[in-house]
């Protein structure tokens, strides 16, 4: 079992490493066709977005026929748990994004950990974040799987892997209230994941996909610094412990088109019987 995890980990690190070196080989100016911050940050599941929510934006700064990508390290630390995420995304133009994420969720009181891998794709179907009359509309899909399933299974999860699909709409207003640039995003996701999939997929209370609403609103104090909030509705499939919606209040800093740093206060509610899980979130993204 442990050997399997080791091999899985090594394979994963290999994939991320190869992706990162490919991205480094890409010419530096290949991925600079978009304006600062228009690729957003990297959400915990690897898709471009905020922290908790995938947005309609395409990762990085690729526009027209450019390709590029991002590599991200994130951590959420709440009272009894810690989530560590390693993610990478590849993008083509302002059109398509492919992402991978490896999540490790540490149950600090139990000395145990949960692991989830997420592979995602996102396609912009219409509109634009800034230009024209139609907001940017993207569709996305995620394949998620638990690479350690003993605990999810013990608490009543029905399966160790599953698909999700979402539609996201994003729009920026260059000179909104207070003459600041504002960004709004709404995402509808079809999911049956327990705690985003960290505790498996489906349960005794519900085993079908449900539509959940996720949203974000941000304001740019200036073009490299934004503050905002996110909300993520979640299913409640397991009778062993209730699951609650998540929210965050974030600060995102884009010192250049190569780096983004996000800090947030997160409220993850009740997780596996432990109530009021609040804490901080930090994410560092490099773009190529």
Partner 1 sequence: MTSLLKLTSTMLVVSAMAMTLVAVSPSARANSLYHDLGEREGIEILMEDLLLYVAEDKRINHHFVDIDILRLHEKLSEQICELAGGPCVYTGDDMVTSHTGMDLTNTDFNALVEALQKAMDDRNISVGAQNRLLALLAPMHGDIVGR
170-192 as b/e: b if 16+ CB within 10 A: bbbeeeeeeebbbbbbbbebebb
> By CB under 8 A, is residue 59 in contact with partner 1?
no
> By CB under 8 A, is residue 63 in contact with partner 1?
yes
Residue 214 to residues 18, 65, 145, 264: CA-CA distances in angstroms? 32, 30, 21, 17
* Shorter beta-carbon distance to partner 1: residue 119 or 219: 219
Tokens representing 10 are: 């090594």
* Shorter beta-carbon distance to partner 1: residue 146 or 277: 277
Q: Which residue matches tokens 């490896």?
A: 102
* Shorter beta-carbon distance to partner 1: residue 2 or 131: 131
The piece of 25-33, 136-144, 153-161, 193-201 that touches partner 1 (CB under 8 A) is 25-33
* Shorter beta-carbon distance to partner 1: residue 115 or 214: 214
* Alpha carbon distance 124, 93 (integer Å): 10
- Residue 112: which of 226, 272, 282 has the closest Cα? 272
> By CB under 8 A, is residue 174 in contact with partner 1?
yes
* Alpha carbon distance 226, 276 (integer Å): 26
> By CB under 8 A, is residue 130 in contact with partner 1?
yes
Q: 231 near 217, Cβ under 8 Å?
A: no
Q: Which of 33, 123, 190, 241 binds partner 1 (CB under 8 A)?
A: 33
* Shorter beta-carbon distance to partner 1: residue 94 or 146: 94
* Alpha carbon distance 234, 247 (integer Å): 11
> By CB under 8 A, is residue 37 in contact with partner 1?
no
> By CB under 8 A, is residue 74 in contact with partner 1?
no
Phi, psi of 196 (to 5 degrees): 60, 10
> By CB under 8 A, is residue 177 in contact with partner 1?
yes
Q: Give the distance, in angstroms, between the CA of residue 164 and the centroid of all CA atoms in the same chain.
A: 13
Q: Which of 22, 26, 35, 165 binds partner 1 (CB under 8 A)?
A: 35
Q: Which of 8, 141, 176, 263 binds partner 1 (CB under 8 A)?
A: 176
Q: In angstroms, how far is the first alpha carbon of the chain from the final one? A: 36
Residue 283 to residues 58, 140, 164, 183: CA-CA distances in angstroms? 18, 22, 23, 19
* Shorter beta-carbon distance to partner 1: residue 21 or 178: 178
Give CA angle at 243 (237, 245), nearest 5°. Answer: 120
> By CB under 8 A, is residue 102 in contact with partner 1?
no
- At closest approach, how far in Å is the CB of 174 from partner 1? 4
* Shorter beta-carbon distance to partner 1: residue 84 or 267: 267
The piece of 119-127, 128-136, 143-151, 159-167 that touches partner 1 (CB under 8 A) is 128-136
Site for partner 1, rule CB under 8 A: 29, 32-35, 63-64, 66, 94, 130-132, 173-182, 215, 217, 219, 221-223, 229, 231, 244-245, 247, 267, 269-270, 276
């Amino acid at each position: 079992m442990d050997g399997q995890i080791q091999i899985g980990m090594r394979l994963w690190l290999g994939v991320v490493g190869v992706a990162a070196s490919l991205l480094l080989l890409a010419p530096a100016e290949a991925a600079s066709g978009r304006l600062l911050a228009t690729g957003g940050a990297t959400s915990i599941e690897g898709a471009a977005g905020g922290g908790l929510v995938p947005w309609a934006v395409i990762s990085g700064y690729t526009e027209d026929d450019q390709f590029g990508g991002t590599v991200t390290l994130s951590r959420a630390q709440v009272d009894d748990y810690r989530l560590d995420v390693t993610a990478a995304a590849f993008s083509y133009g302002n059109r398509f994004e492919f992402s991978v994420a490896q999540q490790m969720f540490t149950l600090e009181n139990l000395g145990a950990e949960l692991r989830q891998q997420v592979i995602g794709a996102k396609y912009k179907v219409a509109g634009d974040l800034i230009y024209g009359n139609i907001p940017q509309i993207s569709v996305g899909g995620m394949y998620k799987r638990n690479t350690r399933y003993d605990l999810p299974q013990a608490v009543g999860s029905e399966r160790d892997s599953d698909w999700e699909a979402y539609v996201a709409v994003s729009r920026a207003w260059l000179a909104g209230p207070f003459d600041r640039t504002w960004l709004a995003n709404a995402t509808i996701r079809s999911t049956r994941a327990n705690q985003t999939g960290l505790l498996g997929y489906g349960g005794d209370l519900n085993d079908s996909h449900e539509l959940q609403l996720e949203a974000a609103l941000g304001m740019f104090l200036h073009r490299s610094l934004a503050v905002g909030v996110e909300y993520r509705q979640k299913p409640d499939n397991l009778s062993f412990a209730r699951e609650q919606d998540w929210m965050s209040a974030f600060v995102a800093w884009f010192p250049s088109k190569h780096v983004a740093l996000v800090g947030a206060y997160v409220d993850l509610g009740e997780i596996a019987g432990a109530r009021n899980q609040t804490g901080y979130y930090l994410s560092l993204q490099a773009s190529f």
